[in-house]
Amino acid sequence: MTLSLLTWRRQVSELYAEVRAADDPEAGWHTWRTGRDALLAGHPDSPLGTAARDAFTGLPFAPYDPELRFVVPVDTDVDAERREVPTAADGVVVLDRIGRVTLGDVGRLDVWWIGGYAGGLFLPLRDGSVGTTTYGGGRYLLDTIKSADLGSAGGRLVVDLNFAYHPSCAYDPRWTCPLAPEGNRVDTPVAAGEQLPPGGWY
């Protein structure tokens, strides 16, 4: 299990490195989609349950929209906030709010730092599509501790809503995940990124 998970982490890291190296963001997105499909379909640590994996033909995605890619500064003038999120596998995940980003008409989202060894940036999103076309707990935009990192440019953070993806708990109830806190919830539907299949995954 441990060595298998290591290969998953390596492949995700390599996949996002390819995305960051792409000259065209949409081409990088296609590479990412192909890689995610391959991981969920064939990797032993796929979050899909057995029945869903047997029937898997690919993740449903909204078409790429270049208007939903942002390169934005992180506003660090925010009140400190700490959240401790219990999970089944990782114990308590500590989240510290370190700033906010503003993403056009979608609005402002809190940016979090995941505590623990090394740590990482965490940017979840729960938008107006939840419960219909996307998972009720929301999706992730960035989770750098797991290598989901689109990079930066000129000191600004790259946040591309086309790369929104579901956490593991969307695929099978055996997983628990940190979900979007209040400051990462918006009413605007975001018609981008990974979608749910009809009826969901379980």
What pTM was estimated for this model as a whole?
A: 0.95
Residues 6+ apart with CB under 8 A from 67: 104
Q: Residue 145 has what DSSP assignment?
A: G
Number of H helices, E strands in the chain: 3, 8
Phi-psi region of 119 (alpha: psi -120 to 50; beta: other; left: phi over 0): left
Q: Quickly tell me which residue has 């918006």 as its tokens.
A: 186
Percent of the chain clearing pLDDT 90 (strictly above): 90
CA-nearest of 139, 132, 150, 142 to 177 is 139
CB-based burial label for 47 (10 Å; 0-12, 13-18, 19+): buried
Beta strands 91-103 and 152-153, pairing class: unpaired
Confidence of residue 85 (pLDDT cuts 50, 70, 90): confident
Beta-bridged to residue 134, according to DSSP, are 130
Q: Provide the residue ranges of all domains of the chain, joining segments of one domain with +.
A: 2-184
Confidence of residue 86 (pLDDT cuts 50, 70, 90): confident
CA-nearest of 65, 3, 61, 92 to 197 is 61
Q: How far apart are CA 157 and CA 141, in angstroms?
A: 12
In this structure, are residues 133 and 170 in contact, taking their beta carbons and an 8 Å threshold? no
Residue with more model confidence, 88 or 17: 17
Whether 113 shows a pLDDT value over 90: the answer reads: yes
Confidence of residue 147 (pLDDT cuts 50, 70, 90): very high
What's the pLDDT score for residue 92?
Answer: 85
User: Which contiguous run of DSSP H or E holds residue 3?
Assistant: helix 2-21
